Structure 1
Amino acid sequence: MAPRLFAESGADLELVGIQKRFPGFTAIEELSLTIPAGSFFALLGPSGCGKTTTLRLVAGLEEATAGRILIGGRDVTTTKPFQRPVNTVFQSYALFPHMSIIDNVSFGLRRRRIPDAFGKAHEALRLVELDHLAARKPSQLSGGQQQRVALARAIVNRPALLLLDEPLGALDLKLRRQMQLELKSIQEEVGLTFLHVTHDQEEAMTMADTVAVMNKGRIEQLGPPDALYDLPRTAFVANFLGQSNLFTGPVVATTADSISVDIEGHRIVVPKARAQRHSGEVTIGVRPEKLSIHLAEPATVAGGNLLGPGRIVDVSFGGVSTQYLLAIPGLGTVVVFVQNLGAGPLLAEGAEAWVSWKVEHGFGLEDEPLPTSRFPSDADTASIAVQKKRAILSELEEA
């Protein structure tokens, strides 16, 4: 591993029983977590879940209603923002437009009369591969370059903790993906602790060592990205971190290793080790890319689950894969992703089809089941959109 360009290492961050109440609502119910020093940690969740409030509390821009904030073991709960070993990179970049890039990056060091401010600024710019543009103004740079300047300006202060508040939200898709890889590479090189706030699932999974999925002021689930995706514990995590097909039914049989759930007459097997509940009404799920689609009913295979027949109600080509919506009587709509290995979609709209998947790819949730026979998923929303589209086209034809 290459030697770090910055001698200082990151510090761990600990939140203990944090609560934040505003007049009329509670932004954070109770939050406790520990972020190890030198890690890349992501707070992921929808708007209003409390993730940005959490970041502002850590930065000292908001005061906690209850609880403690410790950075490197030091309690900073009541410490002023400028006294905390923290820097923040915002979505807006917040660069000084009248200053050159080198002046922007060295600004904080010069104000604090840090020796060799320009030398340290050049070092930070070399880290983000922009030292050759040091004499330019921000308006002469692209969005991605401005974001890297903002990152250099934050890193040059050698904070123990770097806060990233939706830092890539203003970039286009291709540049955003490029910057995701660059950010991760820079974090590994400088060894600082990164706390990244985002609503973008791909962004969190691409960069973070650990992801905490937030919902309504609480952490629903925390862990490595692949573990959260492969084995979500709640319906919220299953549908926010990617897409899932979720079904609810009673457990009708158990073995030492698995449970069998009746889904409208279909017996679906789930490994016990991958199910949070083993009796009563349970909700089970499977990711769309784990499904195989068949034009004819396949033979029953040990270690597999089968649903169908149904009708293809929508086909959406997405480049790498094609999304199929399969309407199965009594079950609703199942979403299937099929990798595009050949030319064009495999199935046409209106075709009859079955879906199957390996038992080990299913999972069971800890949620109390909804009173309906099936948990709603993203596929339901997509199906409704398809129906509305067809209704509109029908009305236009009649007119």
Structure 2
Amino acid sequence: MTTTAPAHPGAASASAGAALELAAVTKRFGAFVAVDDLTLTVPSGSFFALLGPSGCGKTTTLRMVAGLEQPTDGTISIDGRDVTGTRAHRRPVNTVFQSYALFPHLTVAENVAFGLRRRREADVEARVAEGLALVELGHLADRRPALLSGGQQQRVALARALVNRPALLLLDEPLGALDLKLRRQMQLELKRIQTEVGLTFVHVTHDQEEAMTMADTVAVMNRGRIEQMGPPADLYEHPRTTFVANFLGRSNLVPGTVVERLDGDLLGVDVGGARVRVPASRAVRDTGDVLVGARPEKVRLLADGEEPAPDENVVGPGTVTDVSFTGVSTQYEVRVPGLGVFGVFAQNLSGRAGAALGDQVRLAWAVDFTFGLDGRDDAAEGLADLDVEP
């Protein structure tokens, strides 16, 4: 049978794709359970992100997929083949680490060619040229890593992994060592490369923006389990747990009690004496105690004398306790008696001054943007703990 050489590294394996499947995978270190009965399927050719705080089990999961750790229980399959007991170097995967791990005494081209030459692969020069062209570094082939920027070094590490044509590319916090501006540029670059080569990327990160910018599917991990999984926009707009609501961006969460069922499939919820409406389709439960949620950018300040629209929920009045100008928006903290502090992100569209510190304001947001979580959950779950050492 005649085959055509791939137009770029990774294209050969990308044609069929390489789905990753974890079935009831558990990893224990003594009495500590790092990964707890984890089952998931990563679609072929997708950009998949494992997102969570330090210690949630995401890196341990990646190491088990790479073969650097063995699961205590469960199975790992790549492209339908069980690789649970397969050694790391025999798995069709490559890993890109935060540290880059480039050889300082080799040129860029020699770094990219290292794995190919070690396995005595054919067409090494051509494949290296393809890999460097993909990451737009062909003009730096003869330089040493020390003469490259952090972003360029990361792209060399990526090219070195891609020229091996793995079925699965694992990315372990690959942008963590870059500064903010360069990290954002590399987010777009990684997504471009993944789309172009069509490989399955599995990306581990604690950075919410990074995961949401690049991934087709995000799995939010907490304490060794997946709290919620889906497209980034769906997770953000429809969180199902307080951890997801707080870890992905910020949420205003206030306790309430469902007191009635209204027309239009709405729940009437009492929050501190005020009545708000929650779409039943956006509520985890429709009876008893709930946490009513709204994202800060969905909430607006009602000017003195301004009336809310008929399709808006209203709470307050409250007192503006903080005003922070961030350029594109102004962020307000508003303390509402009996309900706590609400965050409000107002876009700076008019150029006019908004509310001032100490002002009395009411808050309004569309009913359709309201969600309801289980009132038995901890409303602070997923918030950053300032007392935890980094």
TM-score by length of 1: 0.91
- How many Å separate the matches in 1 of 2:86 and 2:127? 27
Tell me the alpha carbon deviations over residues 306-337 of structure 1, each in whole angstroms, 9 at most, x when there is no partner.
01111110111112211100011111100000
The alpha-carbon deviation at position 105 of structure 1 amounts to 0.1
The partner residue of 2:322 within 295, 314, 330 is 314
The change in CA–CA distance for 1:13 and 1:195 in structure 2 (over 3 A counts) is same
- How many Å separate the matches in 1 of 2:22 and 2:375? 26
- How many Å separate the matches in 1 of 2:178 and 2:151? 7
The change in CA–CA distance for 1:376 and 1:55 in structure 2 (over 3 A counts) is closer
Q: Look up the match of 1:143.
A: 150
**What is the aligned residue count?**
376
Alignment check: 8 A CA contact 2:289 2:375 kept = no
Pair 1:236 & 2:282 matched: no
Tell me the alpha carbon deviations over residues 69-120 of structure 1, each in whole angstroms, 9 at most, x when there is no partner.
0000000000000000000000000000000000000000001100111210
Q: Look up the match of 1:276.
A: 284
Amino acid aligned to 2:326: G
Amino acid aligned to 2:331: Q
Q: Look up the match of 1:218.
A: 225
The DSSP-based 3-state class of the residue aligned with 1:7 is helix
Amino acid aligned to 1:328: V
- How many Å separate the matches in 2 of 1:253 and 1:230? 24
- How many Å separate the matches in 1 of 2:333 and 2:78? 48
TM-score by length of 2: 0.93
Tell me the alpha carbon deviations over residues 280-302 of structure 1, each in whole angstroms, 9 at most, x when there is no partner.
11112000000111232532532
Amino acid aligned to 1:181: L
- How many Å separate the matches in 2 of 1:45 and 1:378? 9
Amino acid aligned to 1:277: R
Q: Look up the match of 2:270.
A: 262
The alpha-carbon deviation at position 242 of structure 1 amounts to 0.5
- How many Å separate the matches in 2 of 1:289 and 1:332? 18
Q: Look up the match of 2:63.
A: 56
The alpha-carbon deviation at position 248 of structure 1 amounts to 1.1
The partner residue of 2:338 within 330, 344, 355 is 330
Which structure 2 residue ranges, 5 or more long, are not aligned? 1-5
Pair 1:302 & 2:310 matched: yes
- How many Å separate the matches in 1 of 2:343 and 2:353? 15
The change in CA–CA distance for 1:342 and 1:379 in structure 2 (over 3 A counts) is farther
The change in CA–CA distance for 1:79 and 1:245 in structure 2 (over 3 A counts) is same
1:245-256 to structure 2, matched below 5 A, reads 245-256=252-263
Q: Look up the match of 1:339.
A: 347
Q: Look up the match of 2:95.
A: 88
The alpha-carbon deviation at position 196 of structure 1 amounts to 0.2
The alpha-carbon deviation at position 376 of structure 1 amounts to 3.9
The change in CA–CA distance for 1:166 and 1:284 in structure 2 (over 3 A counts) is same
1:1-399 to structure 2, matched below 5 A, reads 5=8, 6-9=11-14, 10-256=17-263, 257-343=265-351, 345-366=353-374, 368-370=376-378, 375-376=379-380
Question: Structure 1 vs Structure 2: percent identity of aligned residues?
Answer: 61
Q: Look up the match of 1:388.
A: none
Amino acid aligned to 2:198: G
Tell me the alpha carbon deviations over residues 162-220 of structure 1, each in whole angstroms, 9 at most, x when there is no partner.
00000001111111111001100100111110000000000000000000000000000
Tell me the alpha carbon deviations over residues 246-299 of structure 1, each in whole angstroms, 9 at most, x when there is no partner.
011111111250101111101110011111100011112000000111232532
- How many Å separate the matches in 2 of 1:146 and 1:4? 24
- How many Å separate the matches in 1 of 2:353 and 2:7? 48
The alpha-carbon deviation at position 4 of structure 1 amounts to 5.3
Of residues 290-299 and 264-273 in structure 1, the stretch that sits farther from structure 2 once superposed is: 290-299
The change in CA–CA distance for 1:379 and 1:104 in structure 2 (over 3 A counts) is closer
The alpha-carbon deviation at position 366 of structure 1 amounts to 3.7
- How many Å separate the matches in 1 of 2:370 and 2:254? 11
Of residues 95-104 and 297-306 in structure 1, the stretch that sits farther from structure 2 once superposed is: 297-306
The alpha-carbon deviation at position 378 of structure 1 amounts to 8.7
- How many Å separate the matches in 2 of 1:75 and 1:380? 38
Tell me the alpha carbon deviations over residues 204-248 of structure 1, each in whole angstroms, 9 at most, x when there is no partner.
000000000000000000000000000000000000000000011
Alignment check: 8 A CA contact 1:11 1:72 kept = yes
- How many Å separate the matches in 2 of 1:15 and 1:304? 43
Indicate the RMSD between aligned Cα atoms, in angstroms.
1.7
Alignment check: 8 A CA contact 1:322 1:345 kept = no
- How many Å separate the matches in 1 of 2:363 and 2:381? 17
